[in-house]
Structure 1
Amino acid sequence: MIRKLNRIIQDFLRPIRLEIGRKIWDKKTETHEELIKNNKVDMSRVKSILFLRYDGKIGDMVINTLMFREIQKRYPDVKIGVVARGAAMDIIKFNPYINTIYIYEKGCEEKTARKIAEKNYDVLVDFSEMLRVNQMKFINLCKAKINIGLNKEKWNLFDLSYQKNYNKHITDMYKNVLNLLEIENPNLSYDLYTGEFVKEDIKRRIRELGNPENIVILNPYAASKHRSFNREKILQIGKKVLENPKNTLIFIGEMSKKNEIDEIMDILGERERVKYPTLSNILEVAEFLSYAKYIITPDTSIVHIGVAQKIPMTAVYRLDTGDNNSVVWGPNFKLAKQIFSSDIAVSGEEADINKFKIDEIVI
């Protein structure tokens, strides 16, 4: 009851806070019309671009890598900076197209923004659908010459705006941004660089497993319990994978789930063909995925990493209820199969992803 009341209060206060925040921060002290030509950035004048990816979402960052590469291919002298946080930072840790990574920490926004302002970035690109007050302040204090944002036509803080089509894959939105940067017909594949140390370490660990020929990776868990496989479904999938005597089943997931996975492995038996390696970070996960013959997952981060690695997969989604999530955030990859839960959200409860047929998974 207290939690529900607090949510009601926060929902009431949010638009008020946003309105006040916008009155304070939705402004620019300087305009740089010389950097805009025909409603696009005049890239002949641009020396640096800053991307804001402070949401910490791994999958989004994987997809974002296409932009860094395409900009550097077309404009090799342009310096690229990225603001990021959490595990998403690891995704770009070894990316050769990025010059500087800035850590976004709540409570330290002003310090980071002023550090960025010293670099005098020509262009700033923000991907937020709804800006919170601290993000408005952050963008304002970065003091880039040109700010680009999503659906920001009526903002004073932004000089150029781009659109997101909710009937198309998210890469269409990135194409729109690249178009503002005078880049047409971009390559929309993703990049993933894990680093030599991780590569050698995972190669060693694969050898220790006996260099299995057919690795099938099962990632049972997503960020929400409603989007994660339950015990029954994990067992069903595991048994299906092991029907082929050539397959080795590898579980990946948070170590907080270790006890549950250990119990499932005991039930499945065949310990020689069922493993649950300890993986310390997302780069180790990504490198392990590169050895897979097939991936099964309900988690979009793993979907996008698998697409970057060009691994065949089954990606499980809940039925769309007007948001086109499976289209916008789908694999968009010819070797990926999407299957859907039949459950529908009722009375504010999230739909259960486990209402799908096991025989739809074809390995």
Structure 2
Amino acid sequence: MIKMFKHMNHYRNNKFKQVKHTLQRLQLNWSKTNSTAFCPNNYKSILIVMCDFGIGDVIIHSFLIHELRRHNYEVSVVIDEKNKFLFDYFIEIDHLFVFDKRNIKKFIKSDKKITIDLAIDLYEESQNSLRRVKLISSFNPLHTIGFNQKKFFQYDTSINYKEYDSHITKRCCITLNLLEIKFTNVNYYLNLKESDLQKAKLFINEICIEKNKFIIIFNPYGSVETKSFSQEQINIIINFLSQLKNCITIIVGEQKCISNIKELPNVFINRNPSFFVTCALVSLSDYVITVDTSIVHVASAYNIPMLAIYSNQYCSSFDLNKVWAPINSNFEQIFVSENGKKIKQATIAKLDVNQLLNKISSLPAS
């Protein structure tokens, strides 16, 4: 009986939330009196919406930010508290606006003291759309670009996007083409402090008794459990890596996750909690082994050869193996499979690690 009441209460709360969101959406739509025509020559101040982004999402957007600023646009970013540290120097922008997800109303009512000509939102409708639209509306931009946005009138230009197998940067390219901006290659643009590089070099020098060792970065944990190796898999992998006499392996990741991993000969844990020192280690490495997370995109930024492990997730028909793949010129992806076929919605914990060990054994320094 108690279980039934809990289920009914949960169902009622969800329905109430849906009705509430629908009313808020209608209210926002009614407040948008006129749609404006897209006029690229009229825009100089651009806002990029980074609501509910992970670190990897931000790194990917560094391509769009760089190209816009290179063409003399003033670029602002609106982002939540947890990722504001990425814009101190790591990614260069002109203005940063930080909101607290627990108090969106306060941010919406705040005086932005800036005029936004164009707002850009690269992501389609989702459970976070209402929050994104509220943020956009608070800036009152002249024009807003979105992708697959049919329900919200705030998007003056909604691009019908059905390229389910294309990399997420394709959306950046489409946006740049709309603005008549010419570019040659898709790259990520990151800045590391010399002090972070020196800390990374010092650590490498401490663990490399012999010079000219082949440096491998191993990142076993993703942002969620489905994108992470199991402890048993990690033990098998690092045991194998420890036997590569010409290699040194550095394990990176959140300290709370990697601190309990046992170090072995030739296998060391990076105990510096700084994300930027981790990035510096990646930039100095010869090879990266990582699950689908921000380290994929850091390694792509520095064009480090990489073995990336993905868990075959799909979202609204988009193949996330391809949407969030590495972009550098020298990488391989491994997908969780069974009898040679990819398993949809699989977890990395189901991966046969022999696939990975076979790839590692073919490295030049192994």
How does the TM-score come out when normalised to structure 1? 0.84
CA distance in structure 2 between the aligned counterparts of 1:222 and 1:212, rounded to whole angstroms: 30
Match of 2:300 in 1: 307
Q: 5 Å matches for 1:178-257? A: 178-210=176-208, 213-257=213-257
Match of 1:90 in 2: 85
Q: Is the 8 A contact 2:312 2:346 kept in 1?
A: no
Q: Is the 8 A contact 2:336 2:343 kept in 1?
A: no
CA distance in structure 2 between the aligned counterparts of 1:8 and 1:309, rounded to whole angstroms: 48
Match of 1:65 in 2: 62
1:128–1:14 Cα change, 3 Å: farther
1:323–1:67 Cα change, 3 Å: closer
Instruction: Say whether residues 1:48 and 2:45 are aligned partners.
Output: yes
Q: 5 Å matches for 1:107-126? A: 107-115=102-110, 117-126=112-121
Q: 5 Å matches for 1:170-185? A: 170-185=168-183
What are structure 1's unaligned runs of at least 5 residues?
Answer: none
Instruction: Say whether residues 1:23 and 2:11 are aligned partners.
Output: no
Higher mean alpha-carbon deviation, 120-129 vs 178-187, is at 178-187
2:238 aligned counterpart, secondary structure? helix
CA distance in structure 2 between the aligned counterparts of 1:186 and 1:113, rounded to whole angstroms: 38
1:307 offset after TM fit, Å?
0.5
Q: Is the 8 A contact 2:116 2:141 kept in 1?
A: yes
1:291 offset after TM fit, Å?
1.4
CA distance in structure 1 between the aligned counterparts of 2:254 and 2:92, rounded to whole angstroms: 30
2:88 aligned counterpart, secondary structure? coil
Corresponding letter in the other structure for 1:121: I
What are structure 2's unaligned runs of at least 5 residues?
Answer: none
2:260 aligned counterpart, secondary structure? helix
Q: 2:350 aligns with which of 340, 351, 354?
A: 354
Corresponding letter in the other structure for 2:306: M
1:201–1:355 Cα change, 3 Å: closer
Corresponding letter in the other structure for 2:350: N
1:122 offset after TM fit, Å?
0.8
Corresponding letter in the other structure for 1:216: I
Corresponding letter in the other structure for 1:161: S
1:218 aligned counterpart, secondary structure? strand
1:283 offset after TM fit, Å?
1.6
CA distance in structure 1 between the aligned counterparts of 2:207 and 2:185, rounded to whole angstroms: 36
1:132 offset after TM fit, Å?
4.0
CA distance in structure 2 between the aligned counterparts of 1:24 and 1:207, rounded to whole angstroms: 60
Instruction: Say whether residues 1:140 and 2:137 are aligned partners.
Output: yes
1:106–1:282 Cα change, 3 Å: same
1:227-281, Cα deviation, whole Å (9 max, x unpaired): 211122112221332332110111112222345303xx2xxx32xx221122323
Higher mean alpha-carbon deviation, 151-160 vs 9-18, is at 9-18
Higher mean alpha-carbon deviation, 154-163 vs 287-296, is at 154-163
1:320–1:83 Cα change, 3 Å: closer
2:233 aligned counterpart, secondary structure? helix
1:303 offset after TM fit, Å?
0.7
1:36-78, Cα deviation, whole Å (9 max, x unpaired): 4xxx442x322210111021311111110000111122x22x2
1:110 offset after TM fit, Å?
3.5
The aligned length equals: 346
Corresponding letter in the other structure for 1:330: A
CA distance in structure 1 between the aligned counterparts of 2:274 and 2:20, rounded to whole angstroms: 36
1:135 offset after TM fit, Å?
3.1
Q: Is the 8 A contact 1:124 1:146 kept in 2?
A: yes
1:197 offset after TM fit, Å?
3.0
Match of 1:326 in 2: 321
1:191 offset after TM fit, Å?
1.0
1:160–1:251 Cα change, 3 Å: same
Match of 2:268 in 1: 275
1:299 offset after TM fit, Å?
2.8
CA distance in structure 2 between the aligned counterparts of 1:251 and 1:3, rounded to whole angstroms: 43
1:145-169, Cα deviation, whole Å (9 max, x unpaired): 1122221255321211224421211
Q: Is the 8 A contact 1:41 1:182 kept in 2?
A: no
Q: Is the 8 A contact 1:48 1:123 kept in 2?
A: yes
Q: Is the 8 A contact 2:49 2:79 kept in 1?
A: yes
Q: Which runs of 4+ in 1 moved over 6 A?
A: 2-6
